[in-house]
A and B are shown apart, each in its own frame.
Chain A
């Protein structure tokens, strides 16, 4: 059967090596109006409605992509990317990835506990390495926190001008905001059934056309679980290799290590 995918040739070979085949390029998007919430000028506080909206927009895009995945009778999604394109106060959230299917037909074991397909932002090479290492992905988890950082009063400004001092209120505000985003991502990973942990976490800060005191922290990572089937615990100790080509930095997003399929 013909398939469409944005996987490279070696990625296709690697996922076939662990018993999967690409099915289709799947996509979901949502278009949101980014609203506004009043916040006190001199308070450090989370803008809970905006946080919820920014998370909802991502979830909606991912859920629509998942519907396509289910319709394609696939067992999971690889290389999931979340993109945000903003025009004024409106933003389009897009989720795109390659749906894959287990060739042997035992894909149900690879799905989430409630039967939904798995999802991850891993490349084909990373997916191969993860499965060979005895783990499988459950889902891309995200956590969001939109935070308003207090303005400093004039008296505060007078105290600090010219001195080397830490600004504890600011430190605490951003520290808390980051921790909240990471904590929520963790809770989501747990809820998805990724009970071993999260790999490849990124924490990004963004400002989507808001006042400069409003910052969004978004944490994203792939939740994983052990496979449990000893057939996948092929722990080959890595060998150190010297690449014969002259070294040049790999392009962004390319697999950093030339993965060697297990000897048959």
Chain B
């Protein structure tokens, strides 16, 4: 079984990503080459207003992408196994896209990125190529983090809103969720993820004969998919712990077959790791309303 806790995903080294020329030009204009800051954002109007209400300003739409050639691995026909080559490829490519998005946010002088979406595209012109895109809205605290810095141990030289490792925080929370999270006394740390590409064993003919016509659990299949999901979640959790976070909110687990053999599935767990803010906040109590909208 591939359930070995020591076999953690390796994050690519935190090297500075080199941004394309047009990205740098666009960021320069958003930073205020024309005299004042100018933002772009894919937040809706309501999200935009809630972000301002939380004491933040939009810095700009940031993006990172990576087109990756995914290697080849043969799964043993009758075996439940993790396809480590594919797992690594999909993880590394997402990390690359995320790192570039974070670099764009850093260049903008932002404290973090909210509403991050991770997309996987396939293009007809590349069979084994997958394109990974990370896109979100970079934000910065209007007071430069003074309120938060006063509430916690000072970390000189950088904004207190950034993640413990100094990079801008990242999160897939919407503007509404971001506002709620801060109101409840937590702050986002980073978008954490874990994945596992798994090959589910084919059933043997003997096995088929034994089960045909009976009500039985297919323990083999159950265990295979169970393991794969647990591995993806465990890796996501390990990432959050490595970042020094206190927990993960809004986790989503998806399963996709990126155009592979039907027996090969990727389980992908993604969520936002959070840390409590030292200021004791009283979470708002909801008020019961009845909408008259349809």
Contacts and interface: CB of A to CB of B under 8 A. Distances in A.
Interface string A2-28: 000000001000000000000000000
Interface stretch (A58-66, A83-91, A104-112, A177-185): A177-185
Interface in B178-194: 179-180, 183
Interface stretch (A47-55, A93-101, A200-208): A200-208
Given A164-B88, A182-B26, A197 B39 contact: yes
6 contacts: A133-B49, A162-B71, A171-B67, A179-B23, A244-B290, A245-B291
A244 B289 contact: yes
Contacts of A203: 42, 135
A176 interface: yes
A170 interface: yes
Contacts of B70: 164
A172 B21 CA distance: 10
A240 B71 CA distance: 49
B22 A180 contact: yes
Contacts of A187: 29
B30 interface: yes
Contacts, number: 176
Contacts of A195: 36, 38
Contacts of A153: none
A114 interface: no
Task: Classify the secondary structure of A's interface with B.
Answer: mixed
A37 interface: no
A171 B29 contact: no
Nearest to B285: A240
A167 interface: yes
A258 interface: yes
A126 interface: yes
B167 interface: no
A126 B69 CA distance: 42
B40 to A, nearest CB: 4
Contact of B45 (A122, A151, A176): A122
Contacts of B289: 241-244, 258
Interface in B21-59: 21-23, 25-26, 29-30, 34, 36-46, 48-50, 52-53, 58
Given A171-B67, A245-B291, A162 B40 contact: no
Contacts of A200: 41-45
A178 B23 CA distance: 9
Contacts of B65: 171, 174-175, 178
Nearest to B37: A197
A190 B35 CA distance: 12
Nearest to A169: B67
A149 interface: yes
A21 B51 CA distance: 29
B71 A213 contact: no
A199 B42 CA distance: 6
Contact of B39 (A198, A205, A238): A198
B124 A212 contact: yes
Interface in A210-227: 212-213, 215, 221
Contacts of A179: 20, 22-23, 25-26, 63
